[in-house]
Amino acid sequence: MVFPMAWMFVVSVKENAEQYSSLIELLSAPVTFQNYLDAWKSDNFLRYFMNSALVASAVTAGNVLFCLWSGYAFARGTFKGKKVLFATILFVLIVPQQVIMIPMYRLMAQLGWINTYWSLIIPWLVTPFGVFLVKQYLESMPSDMEDAARIDGAGEWYILFRIVAPLSKPVLTVLAIYTFLSNWNSFLYPFLFTNDEAHRTLPVGLAFYLGKQSIDWGHLMAGASIAALPVILIFALFQKSIIQGLTAGALKE
């Protein structure tokens, strides 16, 4: 896992890296950070970066909120058709994204959302995986505190946000990180739904940057390194929370 990232960084700090015929020559070549400056200043790179940050942040916030609501309803609620509705959510998990690619594009076109942020955000505000993850986590938690709050006269909204949400912090953290990274790296649908530079996200921008630079590996790897930096920082800062969320409920006292 580390080697491709290290290779990407080495190439990004070399001028005309493709001219070197051996690894030793590449490593011994002078180091320069001009590629990073060129990549940051060229081809609307900053706009692509900000678009990715906006879309990933909005989708992450939506998933944390709506998946918490939905997961709580499925875990604690009793309503008609609950099992059937949850089964349809699980069914969506096995449907490849490529299968719904054309229907999704036609829907966005009919709504007039092509080349808008709406098409990059609205369809992904809640995901089946997030609903399933939160539901399974809540079902592993005892409901004693919730029952006690109901006896004291607390409403469902109060219970959800003041009791359930704080107790669900580990799984919500995992969901937020997973959602942010998935949308930050998303390429297929942003590529389909955007035709102008004003709304392109960073992965799509890098794909066009590749063609415009005629495979200038130094600048391309510099751009890829900048794009990977938020992902690396998020994992480094929240790796403890990720592990806690994934292993929550695996051990019993």
Q: What is the pLDDT of residues 17-52, one digit of tens each?
A: 667 767 777 777 778 888 888 777 776 888 899 999
Distance between CA atoms of 126 and 64, rounded to whole angstroms?
A: 8
CB count within 10 Å of CB 25 equals 12
- pLDDT tens digits, 120-131: 999 999 999 999
- Nearest to 141, CA basis, from 86, 75, 68: 75
Q: How far apart are CA 232 and CA 223, in angstroms?
A: 15
Closest among 62, 68, 250 to 166, alpha carbons compared:
68
Check: pTM over 0.95? Answer yes or no: no
What are the structural domains, with CATH classification, of the chain?
2-247 (1.10.3720.10)
Asked if the model's pLDDT at residue 91 lies above 80, the reply is yes
What is the percentage of the chain residues whose pLDDT exceeds 70?
90
DSSP state for residue 160 in the 8-state scheme: I
Mean pLDDT of 226-237: 82
CA-based angle 115:91:127, to the nearest 5? 40
Q: What pLDDT is stored for residue 253 in this prediction?
A: 43
Confidence bin at 206 (pLDDT 50/70/90): confident
Q: Rounded to whole angstroms, how far apart are CA atoms 111 and 114?
A: 8
Q: Would you state the pLDDT for residue 42?
A: 73
Nearest-angstrom CA–CA distance, 53 and 201: 9
pLDDT for the residue 68:
94
Is 27 in a helix, a strand, or coil?
helix
Residues 6+ apart with CB under 8 A from 76: 138, 143, 146
